[in-house]
Chains A and B, each alone.
Chain A
Amino acid sequence: EAQVTQNPRYLITVTGKKLTVTCSQNMNHEYMSWYRQDPGLGLRQIYYSMNVEVTDKGDVPEGYKVSRKEKRNFPLILESPSPNQTSLYFCASSLTVQGATNYGYTFGSGTRLTVV
């Protein structure tokens, strides 16, 4: 089944403890992106990647890192999480950059992160 898989689905952590949220897609998509969803704000883009080893900042990149060493994986790294990073996170992918514009994304099921 074609899908975007995120892990974990739920995570509670403490301030300052490094964590990684994994994202993997099995559709050979070039374009991948991370969003965070907060009440009343909709989804905001954190980082995106147009292909292997090509990443760039979105609208709210502060406090996050990403890497794209393989086409299928796009992990989101929080080096020193803070309570304001408590949110619902989504990974998304699209076949191409142009496809992301024209056809939209395929989304993962989300990771609910709580930082205490």
Chain B
Amino acid sequence: AQSVTQLGSHVSVSEGALVLLRCNYSSSVPPYLFWYVQYPNQGLQLLLKYTSAATLVKGINGFEAEFKKSETSFHLTKPSAHMSDAAEYFCAVSEASSYKLIFGSGTRLLVRP
């Protein structure tokens, strides 16, 4: 069965520092991968997605993620954190033969002034 592991339920960074949120997946075939962001009291919003076109994927709000097949990873990064980035982030995986997204347990990003 597929699974997604997000390392660290909470990540705290200073404003202006690098953001790195980790995601590892298990999949027997090349997957489709997603990062979603959830702001307080809101639904999930798609940040970016990997669908095999390019290994480095750029998303909204300055975020990007790199697909590394050898490491089965899809870590999310942003060079410089803003206060407005404070939210919960979810990594999700889907296989081409599947019809649902499987989500990780989420990482809450805290940004310190």
Q: Which residue numbers of A lie inside 8 Å of B, CB to CB?
A: 4, 31, 33, 35, 40-45, 48, 50, 58, 90, 92, 97-98, 100-105, 107-110
Contacts and interface: CB of A to CB of B under 8 A. Distances in A.
Contact of B42 (A35, A41, A97, A109): A109
A102 B90 contact: no
A19 B36 CA distance: 29
A42 B43 contact: no
B96 interface: yes
Contacts of A48: 99-100
B49 A90 contact: no
Contacts of A107: 36, 43-45
A92 B43 CA distance: 9
Nearest to B106: A42
Contacts, number: 65
Nearest to A97: B99
Contacts of B24: none
A102 B51 contact: yes
B42 A33 contact: no
B94 A42 contact: no
A100 B9 contact: no
Contact of B99 (A100, A103, A104, A108): A100
Contact of A90 (B43, B51, B94, B96): B43
Nearest to B35: A104
Contacts of B32: 101-102
Contacts of A97: 99
A104 B49 contact: yes
Interface string B32-63: 10101000011111100101000000000000
